Amino acid sequence: MNSHLKSRLYISPSSPPFHFLRAIVQSFHLCHRYYAAKPHYDNDRRFRRKEASEGELLHLHKSKGQHLLTNPRILDTIVRKSAIKPTDTVLEIGPGTGNLTLRLLPVARKVVAVELDRRMVEVLHKRVAESGFQDSLSVICQDALKVDFPPFDLVVANIPYGISSPLIIKLVYGENPFQSATLLLQKEFARRLLANPGDSEFNRLAVNVKLVADVEFVMDVSKRDFHPCPKVDSSVVIIRPKPEVPQVNLAEWCSFTKTCFGKKNKTLGATFKQKKKVLELLELSTRTVSVSRNDEDDENDEESDCDEEMESSGCGSGRTLGLFKEKIIGVLRSGGFEDKRPAKMKNEELLELLSLLNQSGVFFHNHANDESSNNVALAAAAFD
């Protein structure tokens, strides 16, 4: 019992009888309040030990991101912030032994859990059966990056750190529409996802995700709330797909942002004056224009001869390369982009620049391969 409580419980022997009885009653209430609060803390600690013990039965691989969230307050907050309705189907990626799953099942219509580790799946099935919600759970024992997700309304997940980037790209650029994704991510990764133009963490991940979705910060989570304890803290974010997205060719956009953010602090003028980059864009633009002409079936003999001359010279003759470089710099200057740096540009500015370059015949992607690629593959290629 702490010293403050002891001082409040002290009764002077010289106290009048009435005051003596009143002091006894006060002492009783104080003791009751003190000891009534203590078991709640102990129960919380016992709960954490129970949640962690499920993982101790298995050998958890830190290298695979197998860190179980055991803090019940954090788990409850994640479920509450997800705003799950009784009619919702929730997709959980990496459920582990089910600490979060057991909180999702009572509030959702159905939970679809994707878990690659069969040992985890066995423990998950056992715990869910004990809770009586086995009819509301569907488990897919496959790689979340390779499997086709069934229809879902929400995503709530403690994502393995190693697959955070490709998994988020798969969600936001995938064919499954959803309302929101409440994700527990590595803190540093979450900061990159939340970064805005001008922030030191601003990068093409944030640019590409925010083209199609809004990202909201929820809270930080200490590494001590996991078992086994990882080396870094985590953060919870909510990703909400935008109701309307810009009309832009995704392949062009992803290749364009990859070019711009390769050296995000260099001016665009410096980036597009590099001979190697100009030659690369000349080759891509020549192929794209050629594909476009074939599709329209409206070839011009004079222009075709010019294209053949470029191809025979590897599109790298000094005069051709010089003219193409002047075209790019001309677009940058006319639009006021030559001295701008990608690290400080908003998506609206980047979209405007890409449109101006495309209109001038400058392209960043080989569109001959578009038919064999889906949105997820194109977006993921931007991070290679």
Give the Cα separation of 2 and 322 in Å (integer): 81
Determine if the peptide bond prior to 86 is cis (ω within 30°): no
Q: Identify how many contiguous H helices and E strands the chain contains and give both numbers.
A: 15, 9
Residue with tokens 């001082």: 7
Answer yes or no: is 67 a known binding residue. Answer: yes
Closest residue by Cα to residue 235 from 219, 258, 252, 215: 219
d(Cα 329, Cα 180) in Å, to the nearest integer?
41
Please report how many Cα atoms fall inside a 13 Å half-sphere around the Cα of residue 174, on the Cβ side.
Answer: 19
Assigned token pair, 360: 């001038």
Structure tokens at 382: 């931007």
Separation between Cα atoms, residue 254 and residue 205, nearest integer Å? 10
Helix, strand or coil, per DSSP, at residue 21 = helix
115 annotated to a ligand binding site: yes
Calculate Rg over the CA atoms of the chain: 29
Which DSSP letter does residue 142 get? Answer: S
Give φ, ψ of 187 to 5 degrees: -55, -45
All residues at 6 or more sequence positions from 168 whose CB lies less than 8 Å from its CB, including other chains:
181, 183, 193, 209, 239
Please enumerate in sequence order all residues whose Cβ is within 8 A of that of 267, keeping only pairs 6 or more positions apart, or say none. 338, 339, 340, 341
Separation of alpha carbons 10 and 45, rounded Å: 32
Q: Are 152 and 171 in contact (CB under 8 A)?
A: no
Binding site residue list? 67, 69, 94, 115, 143, 158
Binding site per annotation, positions for S-adenosyl-L-methionine: 67, 69, 94, 115, 143, 158
